[in-house]
Structure 1
């Protein structure tokens, strides 16, 4: 079958589910990942053929896309901060906004002429910790997650990106005190309230792990409050606490940090939403 004909099948099958540009992007991502065929290859040779097995592989991927499964799960990996990360149903697919949080930390600490100690709480795929490790080679980085399955993915991603991270399976809500002190504590914890589910796409609702996403409506800052209190005694002088936050609870989260003795800075992401918060102890 001609690859161009398979592309038309994708467009027709998914026309009511995704914008045309997104379907084309999906198709090109799949042909690149599965067969090493690039966009330019198809442009230069519209008669490009694929065999029966390749057609079957694309048909299976098409069926999964029709069910709104994330393209990253179908391919098996995604890109974050210029690195490749294995992802599946056990971890959140890293979002572009989170790259901005990583960049903020790097802007603040890249010129630090010392070995930094960094803790990533709720590491998931390890995208934050690993991206920091690649760009702060002198840093000693640890990462915590409650999910054993998520940590299995993170433990694959670290050596795949040529870094060493200490991973620990622990429930941060059960901590009374962190056992070490750190220059940086960073967290992208669960922050989506149940009431916000109606705003979310099926590919997130049905395929991302709910424990990494959702918090109860009546206590949405549970993780932020706990981590902030732990950071009060665990940050070294001049240390910083960084959060990715719920845009709808930005002021409440900032106020909570201030009440715990932190001087704060709130930032918007590239989409204009309050998404990042930094705290420094007075």
Structure 2
């Protein structure tokens, strides 16, 4: 007999997970329902080969969806244990969420509301600066293994990143730069990993989701600056000149305040669950 309740719950988790951020809204994920589990796969047909030849951004986006799925499952009373695929270099299978019966988390309503509110808001931020203490709190919210979130608070690092972002944008002719320019009042953080491989990219995506949801709950807006990572030269300079070559940069993010509420912002179109959830 088909477990109708399980199917409904799985679809709801996947629906909430698919609201996760993805680089250039590529949404490069597929899900497969199993026996009390959900598998996450990378959808290679959605990879942006020109700007993402190694698949870094594809897998990072999948990592964000994976964390969104964990938050959704816990909020719905199905806490999930994640089993990572042993070799991410070959198959599309990235991870499996093993669901177990439980009670909705104490903060279930707030978690579901934050998932619904999170969005990429590329409108100009206000001139109100983001205090260093807030950036530190956001950085501390990331717990994904092998990752670090580094706030850039000294003026030298900030100016250097601004120059690198502008240089990367200049090289990406014909691409929209909306929201990518850095303002003086923006908060800046860098997502770092110990290694630079698919497993690290997946963890960086999980950390991105953690930080983004924490920022959303705190009333802040967040915009990824993927251009500086997509360009090999600017990424190399970021790694060497800003980070001292000690860690691998996976994404730069700008953070700020919006004067107008998110409720007035038009949401980007999402792939139907029927297109991404495989039997």
TM-score bracket, shorter-length normalisation: under 0.3
- Bigger RCO (CA 8 Å, 6+ sep): 2
Q: TM-score, normalised by structure 2?
A: 0.25
Q: Which is richer in helix?
A: 1
Q: TM-score, normalised by structure 1?
A: 0.24
Greater gyration radius: 1
